[in-house]
């Protein structure tokens, strides 16, 4: 995946686009994470990003970038189909890593605390070491 394509995927979108993405992400995040957890080396950061993206205090641009990346993660239509298991999540990981790098300053300790609590409550999702 080249930077141009990732940049296109991570466009924050307008308010309507963000609302649509947030609805999709809220509905599909946990089931998708359960399927992908062993292939995503930074699930703690990913869950913290979910909480940041759904936090009313997160600035609109950061929220938009996160929702775009999380939307790409949860939707079955992407560059490498997720049903190809290991290879299927590599493009998702690249997009998520780019988004996390772009907006990491907006992911707070509160988001990480919420992620830790959520992961502790998800027996089928392990939390590999955080990239932060």
pLDDT, tens only, 5-40: 666 677 778 889 989 999 999 999 998 888 777 777
Domain with 52 in it = 3-120
In a domain, 128, yes or no: no
Does residue 132 belong to any structural domain of this protein? no
Q: What is the pLDDT of residue 61?
A: 93
Report yes or no on 126 lying in a domain. no
Whether 64 contacts 13, CB under 8 Å: yes
Q: Rounded to whole angstroms, how far apart are CA atoms 15 and 51? A: 18
Give the chain's domain count.
1
Print the SS3 string covering 44-111: HHHHHHHHHHCCCCCCHHHHHHHHHHHHHHHCCCCCCCHHHCCHHHHHHHHHHHHHHHHHHHHCCHHH
Distance CA 106, CA 118 (A): 19
How much is the pLDDT for 77? 59
With a cut of 80, say whether residue 87 has pLDDT above it: no
Per-residue pLDDT of 93-112, as tens digits, reads 788 889 999 999 999 999 99
Place of tokens 């993405």: 21
The per-residue pLDDT for 79 is 45
Residue 99 lies in a domain: yes
pLDDT in tens, 36-84: 777 777 889 999 999 999 999 999 999 999 999 998 888 765 444 444 4
pLDDT at 125: 66
């Amino acid at each position: 995946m080249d930077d141009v394509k990732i940049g296109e995927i991570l466009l924050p979108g307008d308010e309507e686009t963000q609302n649509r993405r947030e609805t999709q992400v809220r509905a599909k995040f946990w089931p998708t994470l359960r399927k992908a957890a062993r292939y995503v080396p930074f699930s703690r950061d990913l869950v913290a990003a979910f909480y940041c993206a759904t936090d009313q205090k997160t600035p609109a641009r950061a929220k938009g970038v996160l929702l775009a990346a999380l939307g790409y993660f949860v939707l079955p239509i992407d560059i490498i189909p997720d049903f190809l298991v290991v290879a299927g999540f590599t493009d998702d990981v690249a997009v998520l890593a780019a988004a996390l790098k772009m907006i990491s300053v907006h992911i707070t300790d509160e988001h990480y605390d919420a992620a830790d609590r959520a992961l502790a409550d998800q027996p089928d999702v392990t939390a590999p070491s955080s990239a932060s």
